[in-house]
Amino acid sequence: MAVVFIVPVISLASKTDEIFVNDGASGKQDGSYNHPYRTISQAIDEADGKTKIIVKRGTYKENITVPKNVKITGKSRSDVIIEARNDNKPTVTMEGKTEISDVTVKGGKPGILVKDDRKGEVTIVNCSIKDSEKDGIKIERDERNSDNKVNIIDNKIYHNDKSGIYSDKRKVVIMKNEIFENGLDGVDLDSSVKAYVAKNEINNNDGVGLKVRVDNASVTVEKNTFYNNDKDGIEVRYAGRAGYVGIKNNKLIKNEDYGIVRIYKDSNSSFNGLVIENNNTFSENGKGELAEPIRN
């Protein structure tokens, strides 16, 4: 069984309006290049249809919701910081058919919340997501089709109090990210997720590197490095419903417990649909490579 994903190239439209933001703006503010808005929220309020909001270097202390057909891009990932004004709310909430790129998202509960509004694809690319009091990125339950896919590509996700990424049932692509030093797991995929997890560095998290459920899932995990996580490199859970989880060509190195651990509920120990190929590399994991199935 194979899962095929095509990495997206997002284009909101052939014609896109541009609105500019600069936290040092004063005087006339109309969102033009010469007279930018001071806050991202002002730009969002003026976004109409297909809009690209271009954010100049600075710190923007606000909680924002990115509405349909809006793309937010910063001039520099390290120098454009969106920091939660209210840490009890998400710093950034994303509706469908939106994109955010080249910014740092700081604080919030969670850092980025991807809504379940069934309005279209969501892309998070080349961002830093850090210091959330919950998950770095939380993805709400939605249909598992391409129209509602969430793309998380080329980001740094770290120092969040819970998991770097948590996804409920959804179609998700997680590629080429650095996910490290989170307070719980690196990535947590709930049952029924359809996901492609590839070429990530998932290191030094306080829980497991990747937690995945077989039940009703369709997940491929390949060419990742799981290094020095405080528990296992990969934890696979199974409650008796068939699915597919394929684990291949990964490096599992120096994790505190096992490289891969399998946990089943009650007497359902068959792990129907779990495929662990023999091309995974294991090295110096604290308790060994592959644990015998554990009943929970």
Q: Are 260 and 290 in contact (CB under 8 A)?
A: yes
Six token digits for residue 188:
């947590």
**Residue-wise burial string across 73-109, b where 16 or more C-beta atoms lie within 10 A, e elsewhere:** bbeebeebbbbbeebeebbbbbbbbbbbbbbbbbbbb
Name residue 174's beta-bridge partners.
Answer: 152, 197
Residue 2 in domain:
no
**Residue 6 resides in a domain:** no
State pLDDT tens for residues 209-253.
999 999 999 999 999 999 999 999 999 999 999 999 999 999 999
Which pLDDT belongs to residue 118?
77
Residue-number span of the structural domain to which 41 is assigned: 16-184
Q: Where residue 14 falls among pLDDT bands split at 50, 70, 90?
A: very low
CATH of residue 64's domain is 2.160.20.10
The answer to whether position 10 is within a domain reads: no
Residue at 63 is within a domain:
yes
- pLDDT, tens digit, for every residue of 96-133? 999 999 999 999 999 999 999 777 999 999 999 999 99
Q: Is the peptide bond before 67 cis (omega within 30 degrees of 0)?
A: no
Task: Confirm whether 11 is domain-assigned.
Answer: no
Confidence of residue 15 (pLDDT cuts 50, 70, 90): low
Closest CA to 296 of 246, 240, 245: 240
Asked if 24 and 70 sit in the same domain, the reply is yes
Report percent pLDDT > 70 for the chain.
95
Give the Cβ contact number of residue 55 at 10 Å. Answer: 28
The neighbour count for residue 38, using CB atoms within 10 Å, is 16
Q: What pLDDT, on a 0 to 100 scale, did the predictor assign at position 16? A: 66
Domain boundary among 184, 209, 242: 184
7 has pLDDT over 70: no
Same domain for 26 and 165, yes or no, is yes
Whether 55 and 172 map to the same domain: the answer is yes
Mean pLDDT, the chain, as a whole number?
94
- Separation of alpha carbons 90 and 107, rounded Å: 8
Question: Among the three residues 184, 203, 219, which one is the final residue of a domain in this structure?
Answer: 184
Q: Is residue 31 part of a domain?
A: yes
Last residue of a domain, one of 184, 217, 241: 184
Distance, CA of 62 to chain centre: 21
In a domain, 131, yes or no: yes
**Residues 195, 50 share a domain:** no
> Are residues 232 and 133 part of one domain?
no
Answer yes or no: do 130 and 23 share one domain.
Answer: yes
Identify the helix (H) or strand (E) that includes residue 42. Answer: helix 40-46
Same domain, 31 and 135: yes
pTM of the prediction?
0.94
Indicate if 123 and 165 belong to the same structural domain: yes
Distances (CA, A) of 232 to 35, 48, 66: 52, 47, 36
Q: What pLDDT shows up at residue 268? A: 87
* Angle made by CA atoms 100, 250, 211, in degrees to the nearest 5: 65
Render pLDDT for 163-184 as a digit per residue (tens, 0 to 9). Answer: 999 999 999 999 999 999 999 9
Q: How many domains is the chain partitioned into structurally?
A: 2
Q: Which class for 193: exposed (0-12), middle (13-18), buried (19 or more C-beta within 10 A)?
A: buried
